[in-house]
Amino acid sequence: MNHISPSWIELNISALQRNFHFFRNRIRRETAIYPVIKANAYGHGMAEIARAVAPLADGFCVHSAEEAAKVPGTKPVLILGHFPEDMGFLARLILDKNPVFTITQFEQAEILARAAKAAGKPASVHIKVETGTHRLGISPDESLKLISELKTFQTIRVKGFSTHFANIEDTTNHQFAMEQLSRFNAFRTSLPDPENYRFHTACSAAALLFPETHMDIVRLGISLYGYYSSGETRLSAMQQGLQPEDRLRPVLSWKTRPIQIKPVASGDFIGYGLTFRAHRPMTIAILPVGYSDGYDRRLSNSGYVLIRGQRAPICGRICMNMMMVDVSHIDGINRDDTVILIGRDGNEEISAETLAAISGTIQYEILARINPSIPRISMD
How confident is the model at residue 4, as a pLDDT?
86
| CA 172 – CA 233 distance, rounded (Å) | 7
What is each CA distance from 142 to 102, 242, 256, in whole angstroms?
15, 40, 52
In tens digits, the chain (380 residues) has pLDDT values of 556 899 999 999 999 999 999 999 999 999 999 999 999 999 999 999 999 999 999 999 999 999 999 999 999 999 999 999 999 999 999 999 999 999 999 999 999 999 999 999 999 999 999 999 999 999 999 999 999 999 999 999 999 999 999 999 999 999 999 999 999 999 999 999 999 999 999 999 999 999 999 999 999 999 999 999 999 999 999 999 988 778 899 999 999 999 999 999 999 999 999 999 999 999 999 999 999 999 999 999 999 999 999 999 999 999 999 999 999 999 999 999 999 999 999 999 999 999 999 999 999 999 999 999 999 999 98
| Residue length of the chain | 380
Superfamily of the domain at 13-246: Alanine racemase (3.20.20.10)
Widest distance between CA atoms in the chain: 78
How confident is the model at residue 380, as a pLDDT?
80
One-letter amino acid identity for 205?
A: A
How confident is the model at residue 244, as a pLDDT?
76
How confident is the model at residue 3, as a pLDDT?
64
Tell me the domain boundaries of the chain.
13-246, 258-379
CATH code of 258-379, in short, is 2.40.37.10
| CA 117 – CA 108 distance, rounded (Å) | 14
Sign of CA dihedral 199, 42, 20, 236: negative
| CA 212 – CA 214 distance, rounded (Å) | 6
pTM (two decimals):
0.96
Helical H runs in 35-86?
Answer: 38-42, 46-53, 65-70
| CA 333 – CA 308 distance, rounded (Å) | 8
Active site residues: 38, 272
